[in-house]
């Protein structure tokens, strides 16, 4: 019988690549960004969740407590920062569907924000997690935009999985960083 | 008697440069950034205030209410974005003192964040409002850093007003944008 550390069940080899199931995309990206920062590769952070603060209490001898606040619609994307001197900006979305990524997941001002970023010389994209397949893609803004504009014209409101296979870029998973998305940025945007 | 628009009192000329008294720095910067965005000059946004959300209620037929949350210490600066293809990052602070800007206003990780940004090829600085003088300065990170490091060594914990006069850059006020801080960025960082 093999030795195991206390409280740890043996992990069958086949399940290893499912290790991230249950870990959400945000956590994986935050871990990756922490790795990139600690190793002087890039400075990319998630922006705080935008909240409208209405009421704050100041109990004696303890810190301020926000007792009434509301979620606000974000006016920009979730992540931005700098990599190799370039401004980087992206939105991250999880997709639980099997055949298509619904565009209702993206806010209109997030699309126009990314469009502005690109116009000003930055790099803008989406990262989409296909949870059923445990796959992560970098979706160039231009591809998203094409389907976004079509959606307005002919009622289609999603990007099919085949389009991800053809026109988005699979992000490699690893231990450190969890998602090697800057490797894809190198290949797609910096011609490396 | 001169004609005036209804509900508007004549403004004596001498008071015009005091028009911003009572308007806080954050509002002035947000207005300026809105102007820069609307005129396709730059895409710079204030990050939301970081908040740790503890409890959320979902009342029937109305939107989610956050009922317990706490302010978190920010891990980065307040503002970032892109201007002429360059990554821009800064922290904005109001100063109510008469002779010096106390460095306790700045968090240590904001300083190391700005240092990282510059190392990766971005432009990083502080904008400091001297409320008593109604003056706004762009303070290069390098100058702030010098005094920050000194503070640790010899106990000085502030940057004197004379140093702002000598080594920071006065930001011009105008109607649109309220604070022409990108003009200073041009002159200081982009050699224009």
* pTM of the shown model: 0.86
pLDDT of B15: 42
Segment B160-176 mean pLDDT = 97
Confidence check: pLDDT of A138 > 80: yes
pLDDT in tens, B43-65: 999 999 999 999 999 988 888 99
pLDDT of A151: 72
Confidence check: pLDDT of A175 > 70: yes
Contact B53, B72 (CB under 8 A): no
Q: Mean pLDDT for chain A?
A: 89
Confidence check: pLDDT of A176 > 90: yes
Interface contact A47-B48, CB threshold 8 A: yes
Interface contact B48-A45, CB threshold 8 A: no
Cβ of residue A180 closer than 8 Å to a chain B Cβ: no
Interface contact A70-B76, CB threshold 8 A: no
Confidence check: pLDDT of A1 > 70: no
Rounded to an integer, what is the distance from CA A115 to the centroid of its chain? Answer: 17
Q: Which residues of A touch B116 (CB under 8 A)?
A: 37, 40, 43
Rounded to an integer, what is the distance from CA A12 to the centroid of its chain? Answer: 29
Q: Which residue of A has its CA nearest to B44?
A: A117
Q: Mean pLDDT for chain B?
A: 89
Interface contact A120-B65, CB threshold 8 A: no
pLDDT of B182: 98
Model confidence at A2, in pLDDT bands (50, 70, 90)? very low
ipTM: 0.85
Cβ of residue B39 closer than 8 Å to a chain A Cβ: no
Interface contact A80-B80, CB threshold 8 A: yes
Contact A172, A180 (CB under 8 A): yes
A123 CA: distance to closest CA in chain B (Å): 10
Q: Which residue of A has its CA nearest to B67?
A: A67
pLDDT in tens, B104-121: 889 999 999 999 999 999
Angstrom distance (rounded) from CA A17 to CA B166: 59
Candidate from A43, A66, A116 with C-beta closest to B51: A66
Instruction: Please calculate the CA angle A25-A29-A32 and round it to the nearest 5 degrees.
Output: 140
pLDDT > 70 in chain B, percent: 85
Segment B66-93 mean pLDDT = 96
Model confidence at A101, in pLDDT bands (50, 70, 90)? very high
pLDDT of A98: 96
Q: In sequence order, what are the residues at sequence separation of 6 or more whose Cβ sits closer than 8 angstroms to the Cβ of residue B105?
A: B93, B95
**Chain B interface disruption, residue of A68, A120, A122, A123, most B CBs within 10 A:** A120
Which 3 state secondary structure label does DSSP give B4? coil
Interface contact A85-B117, CB threshold 8 A: no
Which of A36-50, A163-177, B139-153 has the weakest average pLDDT? B139-153
Sheet hosting strand B65-71, strand order edge to edge:
A51-57, A65-71, B65-71, B51-57
Question: Of B154 and B11, which is predicted with more confidence?
Answer: B154
Contact B158, B101 (CB under 8 A): yes
Model confidence at A13, in pLDDT bands (50, 70, 90)? very low
pLDDT of B71: 94
pLDDT of B12: 46
Segment A14-26 mean pLDDT = 59
Interface contact B120-A50, CB threshold 8 A: no
Rounded to an integer, what is the distance from CA B43 to the centroid of its chain? Answer: 15
Confidence check: pLDDT of B82 > 80: yes
Q: Which residue of B has its CA nearest to A68?
A: B67
pLDDT of A154: 63
Q: Which residue of B has its CA nearest to A64?
A: B70
Cβ of residue B69 closer than 8 Å to a chain A Cβ: yes
pLDDT in tens, A24-78: 999 999 999 999 999 999 999 999 999 999 999 998 888 899 999 999 988 899 9
Cβ of residue B190 closer than 8 Å to a chain A Cβ: no
Interface contact B87-A84, CB threshold 8 A: no
Segment B96-108 mean pLDDT = 93
A30 CA: distance to closest CA in chain B (Å): 13
Angstrom distance (rounded) from CA A125 to CA A45: 15
Cβ of residue B84 closer than 8 Å to a chain A Cβ: yes
Q: Which residues of B touch A85 (CB under 8 A)?
A: 87, 120-122
Structural domains of chain A ordered from first start:
23-47+74-189 (3.40.1350.10)
pLDDT in tens, B20-39: 455 799 999 999 999 999 99
Q: Which residues of A touch B63 (CB under 8 A)?
A: 70-71
Q: Which residues of A touch B51 (CB under 8 A)?
A: 48-49, 51, 53, 66, 69
């Amino acid at each position: 019988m093999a030795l195991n550390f206390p409280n740890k069940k043996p992990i069958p080899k086949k399940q290893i690549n499912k290790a991230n199931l249950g870990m959400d995309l945000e956590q994986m990206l935050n871990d990756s960004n922490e790795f990139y920062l600690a190793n002087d590769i890039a400075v990319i952070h998630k922006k705080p969740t935008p909240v409208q603060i209405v009421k704050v209490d100041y109990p004696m001898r303890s810190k301020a407590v926000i007792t009434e606040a509301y979620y606000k619609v974000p006016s920009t994307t979730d992540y931005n920062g700098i990599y190799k001197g370039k401004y980087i900006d992206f939105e991250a979305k999880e997709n639980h569907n099997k055949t298509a990524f619904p565009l209702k997941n993206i806010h209109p001002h997030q699309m126009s924000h990314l469009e502005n970023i690109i116009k000003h010389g930055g790099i803008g994209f989406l990262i989409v997690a296909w949870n059923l397949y445990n796959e992560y893609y970098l979706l160039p803004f231009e591809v998203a935009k094409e389907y976004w504009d079509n959606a307005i014209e002919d009622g289609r409101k999603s990007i099919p999985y085949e389009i991800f296979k053809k026109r988005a870029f699979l992000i490699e998973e690893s231990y450190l960083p969890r998602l090697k998305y800057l490797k894809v940025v190198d290949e797609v945007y910096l011609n490396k």
